[in-house]
A and B are shown apart, each in its own frame.
Chain A
Amino acid sequence: MAKKIKAKKNGQKKSPLKKTSSSQFDSLLQLIRMTSTIIPDDVQRVILKALEAEEKNTTAAYAMDIIKANMELAQKKSQPLCQDTGTVLFYINHPKNFDQMAFTKNVEKAIVAATKKGYLRQNSVSSLTGENSGVNLGPGHPSIHYHQHKKEMVEVRLMLKGGGCENVSAQYSLPDVTLEAGRDLKGVRKVIFDAILKAQGKGCGPGVLGVCIGGDRAHSHAHAKEQLLRFLDDKSPLSDLAKLEEEVVMTANKLGIGPMGFGGKTTLLGCKIDHLNRLPASFFVSISYMCWAFRRQGIVLGKKDEIKKWLY
């Protein structure tokens, strides 16, 4: 059943772990395994650059060395990079006449199977009783976002976002008197740095920020998180935001927080910012912090629901 496929991503090396699959369920299970165990190439590149940047024989370099070893080991053993396999977030772009309900069932089946195989930890707990469902299903779990597009193909993106980095994510309402942050990009910049300062190493830095300016509270947070689906070397098409994205990373890396908050040169690996319209009365800025163990992957499904292409 499992055959190797040819590398399709810009002539990059093919991974022996990327195998073809024979059904929607198989493809989704593969996607979960790959996402949980392998850091996507664009993120790996930036992490390895950050490792080079740290001074030798420092605690920061020591942490980065362990991070590198961990990426290699997780891939080799096909075991979770991090024991917190996170909130399971699916983003699906599909053509018209796509059966969302049938797809959701297969997603759930794949999650249960992935939990049994240890690609996912038993990570879904009742907020009322504290009971662990044991299979990663329950109210709100998984989180599935469907979006219809004009293309004929089905794209499935998956992000596994751990609790540590979710806990240091933040939302601000501008103006913020304490931070002296007004309703403009200067104010936005101030609250972003406040979030970085407060996060220190608690979100497992060096991290990546997804930021949304505007929207209502819920949409703002969701959109901030969706920025993390962008490639790490991607720039906002809006020049003001592109500038801010770059400047935030540069300045954050002068703060000396460093990997794990041990002190050091790399505090942020990236920052992706977008905006939504707001009401005249509201001005929210939402910041979604992603840890270095940045688990996201995606697939394009072929006609027989096989994995046709890997997206990252």
Chain B
Amino acid sequence: MKRINYPFTQEAIRELKVGDNVLITGKLFTGRDAVHKYLHEGNKSPVNLKNQIIYHCGPVTLKDKLGKWRVTAAGPTTSIREEPYQWEVIRDHGIVGVIGKGGMGKKTLDACKEYGCVYFHAVGGAAQVLAEKIKSVDGLFLENLGLPEAIWELTVEDFPVVVTMDSHGRSLHDEVFKVSEEALKKLL
């Protein structure tokens, strides 16, 4: 089990390899379809994403009587939908990590290598285990996109993920696909 702690650095990211189980402690910013489209269209990010980690997640959130937000369910959403935009967000905003599920494609893998970023896979559907790791909700941006689509600034502790695409050009998703494709040819 490896750990990375806030503030995140390029050096720490470069040390991570495919297959590493990692516990993340520090800051995450959620961002999914609408945020990626928004940034792709050239809009300015409401937060500085340099050396930050983006989490593909649309959480369930509740506001308590004092107006304070609480995240009650927060698993990853499918990442491949951000494939057209992710490389650009890595390049232009300097993010060093992407958390999601299902993996991403070649454009993102290339950007991870070139700019120093890693893809962390969280367990899809594990919204309670992951929400428990959220220690505070520190900010809400682009609320007009709808609550699941907004940027939520979160502080997490020991957030469990697996590196499935590293900054050295390796992708577990490509490898598993090839293995399963070969196996299927023999079984059909």
Taking beta carbons and an 8 Å cutoff, which residues of A are in contact with B?
A: 59, 62-63, 66-67, 69-70, 73-74, 77, 79-85, 118, 121-123, 125, 130-132, 134, 162-164, 167, 190, 193, 197, 200-202, 204, 251, 254-258, 260-263, 291-293
Contact between A69 and B129, CB atoms less than 8 A apart? yes
Contact between A82 and B173, CB atoms less than 8 A apart? no
Contact between A197 and B187, CB atoms less than 8 A apart? no
CB-CB under 8 A from B147, the residues of chain A are: 122, 132
Contact between A200 and B176, CB atoms less than 8 A apart? yes
CB-CB under 8 A from B57, the residues of chain A are: 83
Give CA–CA (A176, B131) in the complex, Å: 43
Q: A260-B101, A261-B103 are in contact. Are A193 and B184 (CB under 8 A)?
A: yes
Contact between A84 and B102, CB atoms less than 8 A apart? no
Contact between A256 and B123, CB atoms less than 8 A apart? no
Q: Which of B42-50, B68-76, B110-118 lies at the binding interface?
A: B68-76
Task: From the candidates B19, B80, B146, B162, name the one contacting A122 in the complex (CB within 8 A).
Answer: B146
Q: A131-B146, A164-B101 are in contact. Are A83 and B127 (CB under 8 A)?
A: yes
Contact between A66 and B180, CB atoms less than 8 A apart? no
B109 to chain A, nearest CB (A): 15
Interface residues of B: mostly helix, strand, loop or mixed? Answer: mixed
Contact between B179 and A263, CB atoms less than 8 A apart? yes
Q: Can you name the residue of chain B whose Cβ is closest to the Cβ of A167?
A: B78
Interface residues of A: mostly helix, strand, loop or mixed? Answer: loop
Contact between B34 and A262, CB atoms less than 8 A apart? no
Q: Quick one: which of A121, A123, A256 has the most chain B CB within 10 A?
A: A121
Q: Can you name the residue of chain A whose Cβ is closest to the Cβ of B74?
A: A83
Q: A123-B148, A132-B147, A257-B180 are in contact. Are A291 and B129 (CB under 8 A)?
A: no
Q: Mark B58-69, 1 if CB is under 8 A from A, else 0.
A: 111010000000
- Say if the beta carbon of B21 comes within 8 Å of chain A: yes
Interface residues of B in 106-137 (CB under 8 A from A): 121, 123-129, 131-132
- Say if the beta carbon of B31 comes within 8 Å of chain A: no
Taking beta carbons and an 8 Å cutoff, which residues of B are in contact with A?
A: 19, 21, 34, 57-60, 62, 72-75, 77-78, 80, 101-103, 121, 123-129, 131-132, 145-149, 160, 162, 164, 172-173, 175-177, 179-181, 183-184, 187-188
Contact between B184 and A80, CB atoms less than 8 A apart? no
Q: Can you name the residue of chain A whose Cβ is closest to the Cβ of B59?
A: A83
Contact between A200 and B173, CB atoms less than 8 A apart? yes
Contact between A67 and B34, CB atoms less than 8 A apart? no
A–B Cβ pairs within 8 angstroms, 8 of them: A59-B21, A81-B125, A130-B145, A197-B184, A201-B102, A202-B102, A256-B180, A292-B125
Contact between A164 and B127, CB atoms less than 8 A apart? no
Q: Quick one: which of B62, B125, B149 has the most chain A CB within 10 A?
A: B125
A38 to chain B, nearest CB (A): 12
Contact between B183 and A254, CB atoms less than 8 A apart? yes
Task: From the candidates A66, A200, A263, name the one contacting B123 in the complex (CB within 8 A).
Answer: A66
Contact between B184 and A255, CB atoms less than 8 A apart? yes
Contact between A190 and B183, CB atoms less than 8 A apart? no
Q: Can you name the residue of chain B whose Cβ is closest to the Cβ of A261?
A: B176
Give CA–CA (A60, B188) in the complex, Å: 25
Task: From the candidates B34, B125, B162, B180, name the one contacting A200 in the complex (CB within 8 A).
Answer: B180
Task: From the candidates B60, B101, B160, name the one contacting A80 in the complex (CB within 8 A).
Answer: B60
B70 to chain A, nearest CB (A): 9
Task: From the candidates B34, B179, B188, name the one contacting A193 in the complex (CB within 8 A).
Answer: B188
Q: A118-B60, A122-B147, A201-B101 are in contact. Are A254 and B187 (CB under 8 A)?
A: yes
CB-CB under 8 A from A251, the residues of chain B are: 187
Q: A62-B21, A81-B125, A82-B127 are in contact. Are A164 and B102 (CB under 8 A)?
A: yes
